[in-house]
Amino acid sequence: MKKGSLIIVKAEKMINQGLCLGRIEGKIVLIDGCLPGEIVSAKIQKIKKDYIEAKTIEIIEKSTSRINPVCKYFGFCGGCKLQNLNYSEQLKIKKSFVEEAFERTSKIFDINVNNVIGSDDEFFYRNKMEFSFAKRWMFEGISYSVKEKEFALGLHIPKQYEKVIHIDECFLQSNFSNEVRNFVGDFLFQRNASIHSLKNRSGLLKALLIRESKNTSEKLVGLITTRFEENLIVELGNKLNETFPEITTFVNIISNSNISSTIPDKILTIFGKGYIIEKLFDYQFEIYANTFFQTNTKQAEKLFSILLNYLKEKNFSNDFSKGKILVDLYSGVGVIGILLSNYFDKVIAFEDIDESVTAAKRNAEINKVHNISFLQRNLNDGFEISEELANYDLTIIADPPRSGMHEKTIKSILKLRPSTFIYISCNPVTQARDLAYLKEFYRIELVQPIDMFPQTYHIENIAILKISS
């Protein structure tokens, strides 16, 4: 076997990143572009010491779960890799991702992973999307002008970060989002606005952000640029206000031209209040352009209901709250701490991003929650609470980024030894890795996956641990 050779292989199961695992001549093959159970002809892309990477060329025997994807960009854009798999099978595969992560990564074999809680909406479920400006990915058989080649607004091709597909439809966010993206793209294209180039540290446009509240009618549009081009931005704002009166706020996010990311240096409100209001249960939250909020609002409500029901069943009620402390790690705009605040005497929340801490304090005020405090801290440096509070009945809840928790954060948790530890994660692999440090002292009471991301290989997972007696 050598690079470029064709092999016939059966896909045994799907693994992380939406790849399938097969075997040939005793060697593992990671296959792109197929589904579990299928027999395919695949072209070898890379030969590593322990495995082979291959791409499907022809499906010889199809899975009975294979369906026709609805999006014309499927197979090019990396956003919806499971769109050709029926939804019930998606949920089964995502459950297997969680099981394998806990069995292989953290070596916990005696846990019961609940069935995945599916999404009521299989499409158009996201409340936030960010579309990139870059050079255009060019499809074969289509002629492009010189101007078109240099301009695109859409989603990245996997592993092709310098180019994006210039899309005119996406099934992850609403039709409103599609209309706004297409309008903004056409407007900026006609005005010859330049695309940011990290290589040359030049160009204006980085990305377009669209946020929608699902339980109110508020909508935010943010244009991410390297500088404030007043005439262009104001004209765009006027056109958006005129064409889409449902947009409640438009902001210009200024991001450094020396970095590829869209991290903001400052945010200018062009019209509206600069944020949107989202409602969850009896609470409302201010959501800003750059603050974290669960991207699937309806599924987030299911997730938070699990937490609330757990606390209620375990008698974490107002009558039992005296002396109970909640430590909320990676607290964002304060959603979890505020929602759970009635079950605790005091909530201490830690968050790194200054704008999120400010928004969280404001959200606590809006909802008249007075037993919560928000502290700005980079949790990669660990955290601590006062010795007096450390002697209370502690519950710690963590909702870290995909990379998981830093070792210093885990050491801080172990030092406090909370009676209950709740870990919410969008990456079961890093979640299982982190929990391996705790398994000597804790038992797992609940593992509940929730599908926040239909049509993708991502899965949200809740793990609830109790300290061993």
Q: CA 292, 295, 301 angle in degrees (round to 5)? A: 100
Quick one: tokens of 390? 């450390």
**Of 34, 77, 170, 426, which is the active-site residue?**
426
Residue 454 CA to its chain's centroid (Å): 12
Return the CA Rg of the chain: 24
- For the chain, the distance separating the N- and C-terminal CA atoms, rounded to the nearest angstrom, is 55
Q: Find, among 146, 377, 151, 156, the residue nearest to 262 by Cα.
A: 156
The CA distance from 203 to 261, in Å, is 14
Q: Find, among 293, 243, 242, 241, the residue nearest to 272 by Cα.
A: 241
Please answer whether residues 45 and 7 qualify as being in contact, where contact means their C-beta atoms are separated by less than 8 angstroms. no
Please answer whether residues 261 and 253 qualify as being in contact, where contact means their C-beta atoms are separated by less than 8 angstroms. no
Burial class of residue 370, CB neighbours in 10 A (0-12, 13-18, 19+)? exposed
Instruction: Count CA within 13 A, CB hemisphere, residue 154.
Output: 27
Please answer whether residues 118 and 451 qualify as being in contact, where contact means their C-beta atoms are separated by less than 8 angstroms. yes
Please answer whether residues 355 and 320 qualify as being in contact, where contact means their C-beta atoms are separated by less than 8 angstroms. no
Ramachandran angles phi, psi of 288, nearest 5°: -100, 175
DSSP 8-state code for residue 37: T
Quick one: tokens of 293? 């909020």
CB neighbours of residue 246 within 10 Å: 10
- Is 426 known to be catalytic? yes
The CA distance from 435 to 440, in Å, is 10
Beta bridge partners of 23: 28
CA distances from 198 to 159, 221, 235, 264 (A): 17, 24, 26, 16
The CA distance from 398 to 414, in Å, is 13
The CA distance from 452 to 118, in Å, is 8
CB neighbours of residue 60 within 10 Å: 12
Please answer whether residues 277 and 283 qualify as being in contact, where contact means their C-beta atoms are separated by less than 8 angstroms. no
Quick one: tokens of 207? 């990305």
> Which residues are tagged catalytic?
426
